[in-house]
Amino acid sequence: MKTVYGTALLVQGAEALLSDRAVDARVKAARREHPDAELVTLEGREVDAGRFVEATGGSLFSQATIVVVDAVSDLDKDLFDLVTVTAAHPPETLCLILVHPGGAKGRGLLTKLSKAKVETIKADALKAAAIPDFIAKEARRLHLDMDRDAVNALHQALGNDLRTLVAAVDQLASDSPNGQVGADAVRTYFGGRAEISSFNVADASLEGRLPDALETLRWALSIGVQPAAVTAAMARGLRSLGLYLDMRTQRMGDKQLAQAIGVPPWKLKSLNRQGRSWNKAGVAKAIRLVTTCDAAVKGAAVDANYALESMLIAIDEARQT
């Protein structure tokens, strides 16, 4: 069996679920080989040469080390050569995993890693047309028999957010004693859950996935989601992001930080992704845009749909300031 030690893996792409799964699969493979391996997780923006060398140079407490460097797009350019050399020739006791969230930032490092022939797994965001196939594949993974009508019903009910869809398929699999589910059962479970798509719009917008945000918005409006629900979701998302940007440098554990912000602990990973391309001034500007749009969709605008699309485009510009 091929060992994962003495190797490096680059996981590249904006779809967080696919990225997380690729990382988890490599970590589990490393754990199977060395159950006592030390796991070290680093954030790109916090890494310097000394910390990287210390993490990848071996552990005093274990014969093997798993090092995950998240958001390598945020690494200082002066580290690109060091990271590339280590990834190209990792020690036999090291399992190195580099995670790039997609986009142009850190492109120089990606070029170097490509030239060094570092193994790469793509985790690109799926287009809406590919979502039904993803749902069907997820159902097969859980040994759930879903016909195409059931797959399409789930897509229509919940939209394009992969984490939401995975959770839904898992619930259906758990609650289907014969391992089969049809479109009627899907509608019974999730037909009233269309409002969840407003939060999918907000997540895509705040993560800088403007095309996905616009596409999800149009889909949500087409199935009856109220425009005011979208502005409410955007306001809530921006409030959480603003608090995260204020508090992330404080000495708090994840649970304490999540409580202070008012979100579940799992939401911190999403806020961390969003926070990489936002600053406090941008969040403040985006909140003003949402407030203006909220008034528009509640009566001041002739076309609420156009007002929402314009808001998303303006918020994406605020994100990049």
The continuous run of DSSP H or E covering 41 comes out as strand 38-43
Q: In the predicted model, what is the mean pLDDT of the chain?
A: 89
Inter-CA distances, 160 with 28, 113, 220, Å = 28, 31, 10
**CATH fold of 128-190:** Helicase, Ruva Protein; domain 3 (1.10.8)
Lowest mean pLDDT segment, chosen from 168-182, 226-240, 306-320: 168-182
> What is the token pair recorded at 312?
């998303």
Q: At residue 192, does pLDDT exceed 70?
A: no
Sheet with strand 94-100: strands edge to edge: 38-43, 65-70, 94-100, 7-12, 119-122
> What is the token pair recorded at 268?
């911190």
Q: Which pLDDT value is given to residue 40? A: 94
What are the sequence ranges of the domains in the chain? 7-122, 128-190, 196-319
Query: Which backbone phi and psi does 122 adopt, to 5 degrees?
Result: -85, 140
Q: Give the torsion through C-alpha atoms of 308, 306, 215, 13, to 10 deg.
A: -60
Comparing 263 with 44, the larger pLDDT belongs to 44
| Most confidently modeled range among 50-59, 109-118, 186-195 | 109-118
Do residues 260 and 245 touch, judged by C-beta distance below 8 A? no
Percent of the chain having pLDDT more than 90?
A: 58
Lowest mean pLDDT segment, chosen from 31-45, 65-79, 254-268: 254-268
Q: At residue 158, does pLDDT exceed 90?
A: no
Do residues 242 and 282 touch, judged by C-beta distance below 8 A? no
What is the pLDDT averaged over residues 13-33? 94
What is the pLDDT averaged over residues 98-102? 95
Task: State CA 202 to chain mean position distance.
Answer: 13
Inter-CA distances, 13 with 64, 103, 213, Å = 27, 8, 17
**pLDDT band, residue 103 (cuts 50/70/90):** confident
**pLDDT band, residue 1 (cuts 50/70/90):** low
- pLDDT (tens digit, 9 = 90+) per residue, 265-298? 777 888 888 988 899 999 999 999 999 999 999 8
> What is the token pair recorded at 311?
């808001």
How many Å is the Cα radius of gyration of the chain? 21
Q: Does domain 7-122 have CATH number 3.40.50.300?
A: yes
Q: Does domain 196-319 have CATH number 3.30.210.10?
A: no
What is the pLDDT averaged over residues 52-69? 87
Give the C-alpha separation, 57 to 55, whole Å.
6
pTM (2 d.p.): 0.65
> What is the token pair recorded at 134?
């993803």
**pLDDT band, residue 301 (cuts 50/70/90):** low
Comparing 302 with 292, the larger pLDDT belongs to 292
> What is the token pair recorded at 196?
């969840």
